[in-house]
Amino acid sequence: MLIIMSIFHGSGTRYVTEIIEQSNTEDFAKNIFPVLFVHPSIHLLGLAVLGVLTLFMKHETRKIKFFIAILVGIDAILAFYLKALVPGIALLLSASLFLIDTKTIDSSKPSTSDSIL
């Protein structure tokens, strides 16, 4: 889900950059805006890749997935703050899935070294 959101967000970069270039915004804002717009796409893609990498890890996956869930949850809060309801819900769902996954991994085998905190 995070990869899809990253691609979807990144696909709008050219369109949004053209709109900002045509506006009467200061040159500084016009120069910095594309970088600021692409950053969330890179952020989401990085979190998704890290989540996929945990599939192949043997240790400490709960901790990594827990912190991915926290970061994606913060992104969801920011999306809701910006009144972006659909991305906020999608991010919140992704964060919830990571949290659920931290609870279900190795639930049959108790481990003290792979606890969340």
Per-residue model confidence as pLDDT tens digits over 37-62: 888 889 889 999 988 888 888 888 88
Whether this model's pTM surpasses 0.85: no
Statement: residue 12 has pLDDT above 80? yes
Q: What is the CA radius of gyration of the chain?
A: 17
Tell me the CB-side half-sphere exposure of residue 105, using CA atoms within 13 A. 23
